[in-house]
């Protein structure tokens, strides 16, 4: 029977592959190390992910070639590896690739030689003479088991001499590729792949002015490399954003679009938008060594407009029943806000990280006053940091009245209740405290000693001035319909 065209194609492909494999098996393996590297570019994402582009200048023989691409990341995702010839793209094909990350150690060497012959060398302690015996490695799990002649020995009876290093056991992580090459001229080969073991995070240092209305901010990028490879003089880029990963693949998206840098601040990197993320490019190449943590300047801004807020936030549970005392010496939270805008002398997308805030004391020494974590913050958004709780500003709160006006069930009830909040200030200067009360249901403020605003559909807000070493009392009555 005459084969169908698809069947003929399969037979032809299989025949060519077998013929090529036989030719490749007879050719020596060529090795490429960092000495061949022309340049390397690394793009690091937030979530333990990086894209590596390793460019090397190699001269390959024509025909079937076995290439061992050494010094790649030990945490490479091999399914993402792509080798291409930059100088002769049509002349190079990759037929097969194997990622050898089983690194050479004495234990690994023993495991690879299970069932294989070795030599056991013993030294006579009296005369220092060496004697050798042939042995077979029977097991290497949790110790070594050897067959020497007609006896079985465990442990290490002497030095074990191996004939060679197995082909799939490497001293460095290596991507082994079977190539079909059309030219003998030197060419630039680029290997790109995704890898784990590379990560970065942003850290910020803020110094608050004496009047607490201005701040200076410095941003740093902390790089960590545990990938098992070093990247020397790398073109480094950082991607800020929540990139979705479909295991084990990552879908690359979008093209970069340039954005103007904020003129009111200094940056050590160039920033641009990339799809729904932001890309930061370091101005100069940098070296990231294996098992190294490195810090690189990201940005700096001076005289950024800032605001301090003291906040007392309540709860909604005590609007539904009678409670009486609600707390004594309740701590008031301290917040610091600043606008990430050009008008406020900032205006740059800020990667997520930890912001640490300092303020100088009367002697001019900078003291740590709190820290908070921020998420990715776009330009023209407000950064709000919780620095801690105020020491000298506290509150006493109680429910002064509660009565059910109508209703017999939880969802058909009208309740009226009254409250008293006494704000106390032990400082030598007056402060302003924001009081936020989340009120449930359909509600209204029936009466209050101070005017309020509606911060949200369920929140009443008061801005209360508290005199130095004094107190301010807020009383109010609510009507809630459930």
Query: Which of these ranges, 281-290, 308-317, 449-458, has the smallest mean pLDDT?
Result: 281-290
Rounded Cα–Cα distance for residues 441 and 320 (Å): 10
Q: What is the mean pLDDT of residues 63-72?
A: 93
Neighbours of 178 (CB within 10 A): 20
List pLDDT tens digits, range 132-147.
Answer: 989 999 998 888 999 9
What is the full DSSP assignment across 175-242?
EEEEEEE---SEEEEEEEEEESSEEEEEEEEEEE-TTSSEEEEEEEEEEEE-SS--EEEEEEEEEES-
Q: Give me 20's structure tokens.
A: 């090529």
Using DSSP, how many helices (H) and how many strands (E) does the chain show? 2, 32
Compute CA 470 distance to the chain's CA centroid, rounded to the nearest angstrom. Answer: 48
Residue 14 pLDDT exceeds 60: no
Query: Boundaries of CATH 2.60.40 in the chain?
Result: 305-339+381-481
Rounded Cα–Cα distance for residues 450 and 258 (Å): 50
Of 18 and 231, which is predicted with more confidence?
231
User: Would you state the pLDDT for residue 427?
Assistant: 95
Q: Give me 103's structure tokens.
A: 């690194």
Q: Does domain 305-339+381-481 have CATH number 2.60.40?
A: yes
User: Would you state the pLDDT for residue 191?
Assistant: 97
Nearest to 292 by CA among 224, 200, 227, 230: 224
The pTM score is: 0.70
User: Would you state the pLDDT for residue 356?
Assistant: 97
Of 279 and 387, which is predicted with more confidence?
387
Percent of the chain whose predicted confidence (pLDDT) is above 70: 88
Query: Boundaries of CATH 2.30.30 in the chain?
Result: 106-161
Q: What is the mean pLDDT of residues 79-89?
A: 93
Pick one of 3.40.50, 1.10.287, 2.30.30, 1.10.1060 as the CATH number of 106-161.
2.30.30
List pLDDT tens digits, range 311-336.
Answer: 999 999 999 899 999 999 999 999 99
List pLDDT tens digits, range 158-196.
Answer: 889 988 877 767 778 899 999 999 999 999 999 999 999
Q: What is the mean pLDDT of residues 152-156?
A: 85
- Greatest extent of the chain over all pairs of C-alpha atoms, in Å: 107
Mean pLDDT of the chain: 86
Q: Give residue 2's pLDDT band: very low, low, confident or very high (50, 70, 90).
A: very low
Nearest to 161 by CA among 201, 210, 123: 123
Residue 113 pLDDT exceeds 70: yes
Tell me the pairing of strands 325-339 and 292-313.
antiparallel
Q: Give residue 257's pLDDT band: very low, low, confident or very high (50, 70, 90).
A: very low
Nearest to 372 by CA among 242, 217, 203: 203
Of 2 and 397, which is predicted with more confidence?
397
- Residue 155 contacts by C-beta under 8 Å, 6 or more apart in sequence? 143, 144
Query: How wide is the angle at C-alpha 472 spanned by C-alphas 469 and 474, nearest 5°?
Result: 160
Query: Which of these ranges, 41-50, 164-173, 353-362, 391-400, has the smallest mean pLDDT?
Result: 164-173
Residue 263 pLDDT exceeds 50: no
- Dihedral (C-alpha) 71, 72, 78, 80: value to the nearest 10 degrees? -150
Rounded Cα–Cα distance for residues 72 and 296 (Å): 24
């Amino acid at each position: 029977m005459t084969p169908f065209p698809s069947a003929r194609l399969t037979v032809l492909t299989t025949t060519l592959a077998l013929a090529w494999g036989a030719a490749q098996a007879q050719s020596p393996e060529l090795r490429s190390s960092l000495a061949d590297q022309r340049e390397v570019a690394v793009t690091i994402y937030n979530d333990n992910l990086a894209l590596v582009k390793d460019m090397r200048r190699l001269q390959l023989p024509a025909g079937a070639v076995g290439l061992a691409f050494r010094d790649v990341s030990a945490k490479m995702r091999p399914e993402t590896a792509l080798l291409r010839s930059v100088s002769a793209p049509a002349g190079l094909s990759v037929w097969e690739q194997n990622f050898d990350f089983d690194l050479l150690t004495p234990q690994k060497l023993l495991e690879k030689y299970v069932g294989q012959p070795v030599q056991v060398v013993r030294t006579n302690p009296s005369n220092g003479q060496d004697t050798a015996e042939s042995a077979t490695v029977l097991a290497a799990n949790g110790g070594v088991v050897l067959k020497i002649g007609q006896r079985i020995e465990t442990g290490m009876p002497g030095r074990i001499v191996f004939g060679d290093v197995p082909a799939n056991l490497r001293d460095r992580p290596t991507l082994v590729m079977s190539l079909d090459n059309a030219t003998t001229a030197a060419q630039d080969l680029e290997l790109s792949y995704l890898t784990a073991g590379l990560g970065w995070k942003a850290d910020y240092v803020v110094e608050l002015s004496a009047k607490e209305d201005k701040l200076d901010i410095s941003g740093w990028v902390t790089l960590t490399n545990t990938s098992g490879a070093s990247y020397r003089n790398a073109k480094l880029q950082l991607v800020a954003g929540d990139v979705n990963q479909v295991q084990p693949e990552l879908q690359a998206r979008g093209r970069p679009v340039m954005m103007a840098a904020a003129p009111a601040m200094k940056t050590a990197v160039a920033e641009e938008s990339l799809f729904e993320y932001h890309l930061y490019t370091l101005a100069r190449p940098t070296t990231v060594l294996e098992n190294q943590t490195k810090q690189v300047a990201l940005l700096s801004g001076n005289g950024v407009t800032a605001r301090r807020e003291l906040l007392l936030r309540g709860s909604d549970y005590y609007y539904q029943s009678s409670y009486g005392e609600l707390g004594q010496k309740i701590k008031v939270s301290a917040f610091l806000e600043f606008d990430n805008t050009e008008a406020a002398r900032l205006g740059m997308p800020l990667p997520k990280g930890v912001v640490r805030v300092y303020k100088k004391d009367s002697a001019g020494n900078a003291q740590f006053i709190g820290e908070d974590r921020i998420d990715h913050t776009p330009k023209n958004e407000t950064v709000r940091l919780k620095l801690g709780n105020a020491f000298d500003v506290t509150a006493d709160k109680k429910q002064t009245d509660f009565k059910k006006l109508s209703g017999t069930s939880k969802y058909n009830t009208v309740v009226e209740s009254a409250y008293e909040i006494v704000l106390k200030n032990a400082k030598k200067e007056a402060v302003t405290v924001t009081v936020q009360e989340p009120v449930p249901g359909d509600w209204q403020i029936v009466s209050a000693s101070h005017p309020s605003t509606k911060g949200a559909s369920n929140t009443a807000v008061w801005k209360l001035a508290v005199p130095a070493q004094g107190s301010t009392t807020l009383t109010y009555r609510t009507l809630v319909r459930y």
